[in-house]
């Protein structure tokens, strides 16, 4: 069903009221961008410029830094980047599949244990990652998977917030009538889910994908604990090893900064790309229109 | 959104009791939720239960000379007693209160403000601002460490540079008590964008008929925002408030980031840092487990209280 | 029923993930080719010296191949070692800092390798160096690098200000005074509340014994007379604004070094490499001298930092692991790589070799650097002993010192607080500690 375009505009606002909102939001935008801008500027500084020049003055070492970055350890950064992509990409996709299935199931069916399942999974947000990290590691070790790609992927697939979002989307975006009609036509539940439910839940699924991708990409603690083979490290852990050498070894600041700058770029690009899918009708659960 | 219901026996949110379709697939819902449940049990429930189990044990020395070996034995509530009588651990909760009092209202307040501004017709540069404010969410903690070090340390901070030029001296970001604000700032910086998007999409879901009616009655934008929009996004506010509360109780990354740069932050500044120190630095996993259980219990209690207080507004559909 | 397809799909996803995991999992420390093929060892180590050393070994020993991973710096990798040992995932060989070694022994991580140390290997290190890895007459690791304490300073600037290089701590105070008076924006050095290793070294130089064991009984002396003397000394400097209290190696500290506002770093022989990493443009302006002494004419110093290579109790190939550890730490090739990356070798061979090497990049003008280093290394205090809970001491020390600085309370009291935490922790664990 179509929505009338939401017209939140008015035409008779005085100039100050017109300029003020823009000014305020631009200040907000600037506040958020300043540190990021610093990373980009700092990545252009050569090693000797990093601690000798003014914080926001651009430097001359960008090309050298890039070269050092990709040459470090014989190309480790490239490996880390691919690992991050693997964990975040595959992890987010799997997470979306699991969340969509669970959300759909919870929203569209009543069954014994439905509330128990839902609230238990939600309660999962209450437990901080640090508490779970070592037990997860010990569990993985018992199963023999510690240090493998799966040991980092599997724990990050179940996302309580993702399941909550999918449940809300499924409730709001997939009308019962359509499901009933499909059933009367003889379609099986699975078919209904894939052919009707999923397309309707798509904006929500994209949202969950994006949130999970960013969350997994930026996750540090789980891979740090699980992995002891540096060819499997994601970027977060790799950057950490560049910096945390203690006072006995020089910290590789320049390499770390350029590594950080380079790693932010794909994330931002992904966000920009996926932004257009954030339309209306998203998180409206609980709203009575 | 509202739908016209043709079948009076179903609601628009559409849950179908399986008994009416029992010949179809009574196990369909179970299949759908199975992967999530399996993963949840394996990676959340089991580790948590193991943590609880561990919290009742301890590592004690087995006899064997000056350099004997340590083994795990049952010690009952010893860890809990030790954790709860640890003044540093409890002081951490006090610091959480101060930190939360700054971080939570500011994060939500700014998120709401920006969301309302984005929803206003008069605002320009919406696309740019929305993206810019969301970008901090994408910055990982390791990078934040680098950035905020440069931003806060008096000698390298561009902000202090400006205030110095103006003759006001450097900004004491890293001293007591300003440190609370500095730590909170990192969290606010990182969290506003995400919360703003949640509130904003909630706003966009409000039908415009409501506003048109109000405008015809002569209300200006501020009144509309305050009287209509804000009440209608209360569920989103409660949700973000809940996340902010949980995030506050579990704050760990921000103070850890600043710790190498200032002596104002100890290794036990917030409870989760104490837990981390016990687990990784002191190699006392059982004590860390006890602390975690206690923290989790506090989190549950506070969340339940928050939800009870706002129950009617939050989950209207369930 | 299409839901069967769904179930199958869901199951496939899960199984697929597990299979990926299976093929990539490494659940044990070493990998054994059953047909008598090459043995693979897992080696955890940090620092730029490691990759070249491992490459050199692998080239020379096709039957024992070593796989190197950087598992984080000293504190991180030792924490991971403990957890990994419990889980059965520990590597075969790992670098462990000397101060953490007792905790590794108590945690059943480091294996007793006395049987693998023959007389030939023994002769390659001095007795006091072996003292760093020997406990209860058992050897638990092969020393890799040592950090005899030394004084690294901005020679150019001190000359400009006309301040002589201090040889005693009393002279250090005078020098600090002179520096700060001549240039109010500069300080001779900074005091860092997190530098547990440095403070311990100074205390040991003054005669303190932080942990000592007699039979089964431990004595903890973190707040003994000598240590308190050190605390009072620094207190005096701080109170008179002769020394700046600041954290080391932050962006601000680095900037101050570059700007000539921090003029020295009392630390150890590995310091030039670290300074060079953040102040490349100052090459030629810094120099190294022996650490100031408490008593004029004395020359003894302690160690700060440095690490050994241990064979883990989880290793399935301890003999090969010990062989590897011995090779990288005591052969000419290994020593050469250590020197080129800024490590000061623990082996006498390495230290002699050092004497003919180029001075560090930070001080190309100091051609007698390595000779001086040898002399310093020869004057280290024998038998420094660490205890089983150094990590606890370190974190308690850091917090107590930070608090003292924040509250303005005496550093002495911070030492007493640290002592209490350490003793209590040892008692709780079950050690026999004398009061």
Share of chain A above pLDDT 70, in %: 87
Locate the chain C residue with the closest alpha carbon to A223.
C71
Per the listing, tokens 């002179």 go with C178
Q: What residues in B contact A217, CB-CB < 8 Å?
A: 140
User: What's the pLDDT at C292?
Assistant: 94
- Touching subunits of A (3+ CB pairs, under 8 Å) are B, C
Would the CB atoms of A241 and C46 count as touching at under 8 Å?
Answer: yes
Locate the chain C residue with the closest alpha carbon to A251.
C277
Share of chain C above pLDDT 90, in %: 47
Chain A, 57 to 96: residues with Cβ < 8 Å from chain B are none
> Burial letters for C387-419: b for 16+ Cβ neighbours within 10 Å, e otherwise?
bbbbbbbbbbbbbbbbbbbbeeeebbbbbebbb
Residue A141 has pLDDT above 80, yes or no: yes
- CATH code matching the domain that covers A79-232, chosen among 1.10.3720.10, 2.60.40.1080, 2.40.390.10, 3.20.20.20: 1.10.3720.10
pLDDT in tens, A197-230: 888 888 888 888 888 898 899 888 889 888 888 8
- Is there a contact between B154 and B182 (Cβ–Cβ < 8 Å)? no
> Burial letters for C90-109: b for 16+ Cβ neighbours within 10 Å, e otherwise?
bbbbbbbbbbbbbbbbbbbb
Q: What residues in C contact A250, CB-CB < 8 Å?
A: 273-274, 276-278, 342
Q: Which of C83, C28, B52, B44 is nearest to A224 (CA)?
A: C83
Q: What residues in B contact C105, CB-CB < 8 Å?
A: 67
C100 and C123: one domain? yes
Locate the chain A residue with the closest alpha carbon to C283.
A48
**Mean pLDDT, all residues of chain C:** 86
**CA–CA min distance A287, chain C (Å):** 32
Between CA B40 and CA B37 the distance in angstroms is 5
**CA–CA min distance B68, chain A (Å):** 24
pLDDT in tens, C18-30: 444 444 444 444 4
Question: What residues are paired with B71 via a beta bridge?
Answer: B60
C114 touches chain B (CB under 8 A): no
Would the CB atoms of B143 and A263 count as touching at under 8 Å?
Answer: yes
Q: Which helix (H) or strand (E) holds A237?
A: helix A235-243
Beta-carbon pairs below 8 A across chains B and C: 110
**CA–CA min distance C174, chain A (Å):** 27
User: What's the pLDDT at B253?
Assistant: 83
C203 and C215: one domain? yes
Locate the chain B residue with the closest alpha carbon to C80.
B280
Q: What is the CATH number of domain B78-314?
A: 1.10.3720.10
Phi, psi of C151 (to 5 degrees): -115, 115
Residue C324 has pLDDT above 90, yes or no: yes
C408 and C266: one domain? yes
pLDDT in tens, C360-380: 888 999 989 988 998 898 888
Task: Point out the residue among A138, A141, A248 whose CB comes nearest to the CB of C270.
Answer: A248
C171 and C246: one domain? yes
Q: Which of B122-126, C252-256, C281-285, C403-407 has the lowest mean pLDDT?
A: B122-126
Between CA C325 and CA C340 the distance in angstroms is 19
Per the listing, tokens 């993963």 go with B39
Would the CB atoms of C3 and B31 count as touching at under 8 Å?
Answer: yes
One digit per residue, the tens of pLDDT, for chain B of length 318 reads 334 434 444 444 455 554 444 345 678 888 888 999 999 999 989 988 988 998 898 888 777 666 666 777 888 888 898 888 888 899 999 999 999 999 999 999 999 999 888 887 777 788 888 888 988 988 887 787 778 888 888 888 888 888 888 888 888 888 888 899 999 998 899 889 888 888 887 787 777 788 788 888 877 777 777 888 888 888 888 888 888 888 888 888 888 878 888 888 888 999 999 998 888 888 888 888 899 889 888 888 888 888 888 765 545 444
**CA–CA min distance A8, chain C (Å):** 44
B70-74 and B57-61 beta bridge pairing: antiparallel
Task: Point out the residue among C10, C69, C249 whose CB comes nearest to the CB of A228.
Answer: C69
Would the CB atoms of B272 and A126 count as touching at under 8 Å?
Answer: no
- Is there a contact between B168 and A66 (Cβ–Cβ < 8 Å)? no
**CA–CA min distance B104, chain C (Å):** 27
Residue C10 has pLDDT above 80, yes or no: no
Grouping H, G, I as helix, E, B as strand and the rest as coil, residue C56 is helix
Token pair recorded at residue C236: 């005096």
Between CA B228 and CA C255 the distance in angstroms is 53
Domain that includes residue C164, residue range: 148-303+383-434
Locate the chain A residue with the closest alpha carbon to B238.
A286
Task: Point out the residue among B5, B35, B243 whose CB comes nearest to the CB of A98.
Answer: B35
Locate the chain C residue with the closest alpha carbon to A90.
C17
Q: Which of A153-157, B281-285, C159-163, C389-393 has the lowest mean pLDDT?
A: B281-285
Q: What residues in A contact B7, CB-CB < 8 Å?
A: 176-177, 180
Q: Residue B109: how many CB atoms within 10 A of its CB?
A: 12
Q: Which helix (H) or strand (E) holds C303?
A: strand C303-311
Would the CB atoms of C87 and A137 count as touching at under 8 Å?
Answer: yes
- Is there a contact between C180 and C186 (Cβ–Cβ < 8 Å)? yes
Q: Which of A249-253, B37-41, B123-127, C351-355 has the lowest mean pLDDT?
A: A249-253
Between CA C57 and CA C326 the distance in angstroms is 11
C194 touches chain B (CB under 8 A): yes
Number of alpha carbons in the 13 Å side-chain half-sphere of residue A24: 17
User: What's the pLDDT at A85?
Assistant: 93
Task: Point out the residue among A141, A224, A247 whose CB comes nearest to the CB of C89.
Answer: A141
Query: Is residue C295 in a domain?
Result: yes
Q: What residues in C contact A236, CB-CB < 8 Å?
A: none
Residue A285 has pLDDT above 60, yes or no: no
Q: What ranges do the domains of chain A cover?
A: 79-232
Would the CB atoms of C17 and A134 count as touching at under 8 Å?
Answer: no
**CA–CA min distance A120, chain C (Å):** 21
DSSP C220-274: E-TTSHHHHHHHHHHHHHHHTTSSEE--TTSHHHHHHHHTTSB-EEEEETTHHHH
Would the CB atoms of A147 and C259 count as touching at under 8 Å?
Answer: no
C80 and C180: one domain? no
Asked which of C375, C391, C415 is the last residue of a domain, the reply is: C375
Task: Point out the residue among B42, B123, B157 whose CB comes nearest to the CB of A25.
Answer: B123
Residue C1 has pLDDT above 80, yes or no: no
Q: What residues in C contact A153, CB-CB < 8 Å?
A: 17, 20-21
Token pair recorded at residue C239: 């109170």
C432-434 and C211-214 beta bridge pairing: unpaired
Pick the residue of A9, A15, A17, A21 with the most B CBs within 10 A to test the interface with B by mutation. Answer: A21
Would the CB atoms of A246 and C74 count as touching at under 8 Å?
Answer: yes
Would the CB atoms of B43 and A176 count as touching at under 8 Å?
Answer: no
User: What's the pLDDT at C267?
Assistant: 92
Beta-carbon pairs below 8 A across chains A and C: 161
C192: which residues sit within 8 A by CB, 6+ positions away? C198, C245, C246, C247, C248
Residue C280 has pLDDT above 70, yes or no: yes
Residue C398 has pLDDT above 50, yes or no: yes
Q: What residues in C contact B155, CB-CB < 8 Å?
A: 251-252, 255-256
Q: Taking residues C230-243, what's their average pLDDT?
A: 94
Q: Taking residues A144-167, what's their average pLDDT?
A: 87
Between CA C188 and CA C263 the distance in angstroms is 5
3-class secondary structure for A146-175? CCCHHHHHHHHCCCHHHHHHHHHHHHHHCC
Q: pLDDT band at C256, cuts 50/70/90?
A: very high
Predicted TM-score of the model (pTM): 0.83
Q: What residues in B contact A142, CB-CB < 8 Å?
A: none
Task: Point out the residue among B27, B61, B88 whose CB comes nearest to the CB of C430.
Answer: B61
Q: Taking residues C155-171, what's their average pLDDT?
A: 93
- Touching subunits of C (3+ CB pairs, under 8 Å) are A, B
User: What's the pLDDT at B24?
Assistant: 55
C92 and C140: one domain? yes
Residue C350 has pLDDT above 50, yes or no: yes
**Could you tell me the CATH number of the domain that includes residue C407?**
3.40.190.10
Would the CB atoms of B281 and C406 count as touching at under 8 Å?
Answer: no
Q: Which helix (H) or strand (E) holds B260?
A: none
C40 touches chain B (CB under 8 A): no
Would the CB atoms of B140 and A218 count as touching at under 8 Å?
Answer: yes
C47 and C134: one domain? yes
C205 and C119: one domain? no
Query: Is residue C14 in a domain?
Result: no
CB neighbour class for B254 (10 Å; exposed up to 12, middle 13-18, buried from 19) = buried
Pick the residue of A26, A127, A253 with the most B CBs within 10 A to test the interface with B by mutation. Answer: A127
C57 and C110: one domain? yes
Would the CB atoms of B25 and C3 count as touching at under 8 Å?
Answer: yes
Between CA C155 and CA C365 the distance in angstroms is 11
User: What's the pLDDT at B17?
Assistant: 52
**CA–CA min distance A105, chain B (Å):** 5
Q: Which of B270-284, C34-48, C66-80, C401-415 has the lowest mean pLDDT?
A: C34-48
Q: pLDDT band at A144, cuts 50/70/90?
A: confident
Per the listing, tokens 């500069």 go with C186
Chain A, 221 to 280: residues with Cβ < 8 Å from chain B are 235-236, 239-240, 243, 253, 256-257, 260, 263-264, 267-268, 271-272, 275, 278, 280
Q: Which of A111-125, B57-71, C263-277 has the lowest mean pLDDT?
A: B57-71
Asked which of C375, C409, C425 is the last residue of a domain, the reply is: C375
Would the CB atoms of A105 and B50 count as touching at under 8 Å?
Answer: no
> What is the torsional sign of CA B216, B221, B222, B225?
positive
User: What's the pLDDT at C33?
Assistant: 43
Would the CB atoms of B138 and A257 count as touching at under 8 Å?
Answer: no
**Pseudo-torsion of CA A271, A276, A281, A285, nearest 10°?**
0
User: What's the pLDDT at C234?
Assistant: 94
Q: What residues in C contact B25, CB-CB < 8 Å?
A: 1, 3
């Amino acid at each position: 069903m179509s929505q009338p375009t939401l017209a939140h505009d008015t035409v008779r606002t005085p100039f100050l009221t017109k300029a003020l909102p823009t000014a305020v939001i631009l200040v907000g935008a600037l506040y958020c961008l300043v540190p990021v801008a610093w990373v980009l500027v700092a990545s252009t500084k050569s090693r000797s410029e990093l601690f000798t020049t003014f914080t926001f003055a651009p430097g001359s070492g960008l090309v050298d830094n890039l070269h050092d970055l990709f040459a470090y350890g014989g190309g480790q950064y490239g490996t880390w980047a691919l690992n991050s992509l693997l964990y975040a990409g595959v992890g987010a996709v799997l997470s979306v599949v699991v969340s969509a299935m669970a959300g759909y199931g919870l929203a569209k069916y009543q069954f014994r244990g439905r509330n128990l399942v839902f609230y238990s999974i939600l309660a999962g947000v209450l437990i901080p990652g640090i508490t779970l990290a070592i037990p997860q590691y010990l569990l993985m070790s018992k199963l023999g998977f510690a240090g493998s790609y799966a040991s980092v992927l599997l724990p990050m697939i179940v996302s309580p917030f993702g399941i909550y979002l999918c449940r809300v989307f499924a409730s709001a975006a997939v009308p019962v009538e359509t499901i009933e009609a499909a059933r009367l036509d003889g379609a099986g539940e699975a078919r209904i889910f894939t052919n009707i439910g999923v397309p309707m839940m798509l904006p929500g699924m994209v949202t969950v994908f994006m949130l999970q991708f960013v969350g997994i990409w930026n996750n540090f603690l789980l891979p740090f604990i699980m992995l002891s083979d540096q060819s499997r490290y994601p970027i977060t852990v790799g950057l950490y090893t560049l910096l945390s050498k203690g006072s006995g070894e020089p910290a590789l600041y320049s390499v770390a900064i350029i590594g950080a700058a380079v790693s932010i770029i794909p994330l931002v690009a992904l966000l920009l790309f996926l932004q257009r899918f954030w339309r209306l009708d998203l998180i409206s659960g609980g709203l009575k229109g | 959104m509202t739908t016209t219901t043709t079948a009076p026996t179903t609601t628009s949110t559409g849950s179908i009791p399986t008994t009416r379709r029992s010949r179809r697939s009574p196990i369909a819902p179970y299949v759908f939720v199975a992967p999530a449940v399996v993963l949840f049990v394996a990676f959340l429930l089991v580790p948590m239960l193991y943590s609880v189990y561990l919290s009742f044990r301890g590592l004690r020395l087995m006899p064997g000379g000056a350099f004997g070996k340590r083994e795990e034995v049952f010690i009952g509530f010893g860890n809990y007693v030790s954790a709860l009588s640890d003044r540093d651990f409890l002081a951490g909760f006090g610091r959480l209160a101060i930190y939360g009092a700054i971080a939570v209202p500011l994060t939500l307040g700014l998120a709401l403000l920006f969301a309302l501004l984005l929803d206003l017709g008069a605002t320009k540069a919406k696309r740019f601002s929305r993206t810019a404010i969301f970008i901090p969410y994408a910055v990982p903690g390791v990078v934040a460490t680098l950035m905020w070090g440069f931003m806060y340390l008096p000698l390298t901070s561009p902000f202090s540079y400006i205030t110095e030029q103006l003759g006001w001296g450097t900004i004491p970001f890293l001293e007591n008590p300003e440190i609370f604000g500095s730590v909170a700032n990192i969290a606010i910086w990182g969290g506003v964008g995400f919360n703003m998007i949640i509130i904003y999409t909630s706003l966009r879901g409000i039908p415009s008929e409501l506003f048109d009616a109000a405008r015809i009655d002569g209300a200006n934008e501020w009144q509309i925002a305050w009287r209509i929009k804000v009440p209608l996004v209360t569920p989103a506010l409660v949700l973000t408030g809940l996340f902010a509360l949980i995030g506050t109780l579990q704050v760990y990354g921000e103070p850890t980031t600043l710790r190498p740069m200032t002596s104002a932050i100890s290794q036990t500044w917030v409870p989760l840092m104490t837990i981390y120190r016990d687990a990784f630095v002191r190699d006392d996993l059982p004590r860390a487990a006890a602390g975690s259980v206690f923290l989790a219990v506090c989190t549950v209690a506070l969340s339940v209280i928050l939800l009870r207080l706002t129950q009617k507004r939050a989950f209207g559909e369930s | 029923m299409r839901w069967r397809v769904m179930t199958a799909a869901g199951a496939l996803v899960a199984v697929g993930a597990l299979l990926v995991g299976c093929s990539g999992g490494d659940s044990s420390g070493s990998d054994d080719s059953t047909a008598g093929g090459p043995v693979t060892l897992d080696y955890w180590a940090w620092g730029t010296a490691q990759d070249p050393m491992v490459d050199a070994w692998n080239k020379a020993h096709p039957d024992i191949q070593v796989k190197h991973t950087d598992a984080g710096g000293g504190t991180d990798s030792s924490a991971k070692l403990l957890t990994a040992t419990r889980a059965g995932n520990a590597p075969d060989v790992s670098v462990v800092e000397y101060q953490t070694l007792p905790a590794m022994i108590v945690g059943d991580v480091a294996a007793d390798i006395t049987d693998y140390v023959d007389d030939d290997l023994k002769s390659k290190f001095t007795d006091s160096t072996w003292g760093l890895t020997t406990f209860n007459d058992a050897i638990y690791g092969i020393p890799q690098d040592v950090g005899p304490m030394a004084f690294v300073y901005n020679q150019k600037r001190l000359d400009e200000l006309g301040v002589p290089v201090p040889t005693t701590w009393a002279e250090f105070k005078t020098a600090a005074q002179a520096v700060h008076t001549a240039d109010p924006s500069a300080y001779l050095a900074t005091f860092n509340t997190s530098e547990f290793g440095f403070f311990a070294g100074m205390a040991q130089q003054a005669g303190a014994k932080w942990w000592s064991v007699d039979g089964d009984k431990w004595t903890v002396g973190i707040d003994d007379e000598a240590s308190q003397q050190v605390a009072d000394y620094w207190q005096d400097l701080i109170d008179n604004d002769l020394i700046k209290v600041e954290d080391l190696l932050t962006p601000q500290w680095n900037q101050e070094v570059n700007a000539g506002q921090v003029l020295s770093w009392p630390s150890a022989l590995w310091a030039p490499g670290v300074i060079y990493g953040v102040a490349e443009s100052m090459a030629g302006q810094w120099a190294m001298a022996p650490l100031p002494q408490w008593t004029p004419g004395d020359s003894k110093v302690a160690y700060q930092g440095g690490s050994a290579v241990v064979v883990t109790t989880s290793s399935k190939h301890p003999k090969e692991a010990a062989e590897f550890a011995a090779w990288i730490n005591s052969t000419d090739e290994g020593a050469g790589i250590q020197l080129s990356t800024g490590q000061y070798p623990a082996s006498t061979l390495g230290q002699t070799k050092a004497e003919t090497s180029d001075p560090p990049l930070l001080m190309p003008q100091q051609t007698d650097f390595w000779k001086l280093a040898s002399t310093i290394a020869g004057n280290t205090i024998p038998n420094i002993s660490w205890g089983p809970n150094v990590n606890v001491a370190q974190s308690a020390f850091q917090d107590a010192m930070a608090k003292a600085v924040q509250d303005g309370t005496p550093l002495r009291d911070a030492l007493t607080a640290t002592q209490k935490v350490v003793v209590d922790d040892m008692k709780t664990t079950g050690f026999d500690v004398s009061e």
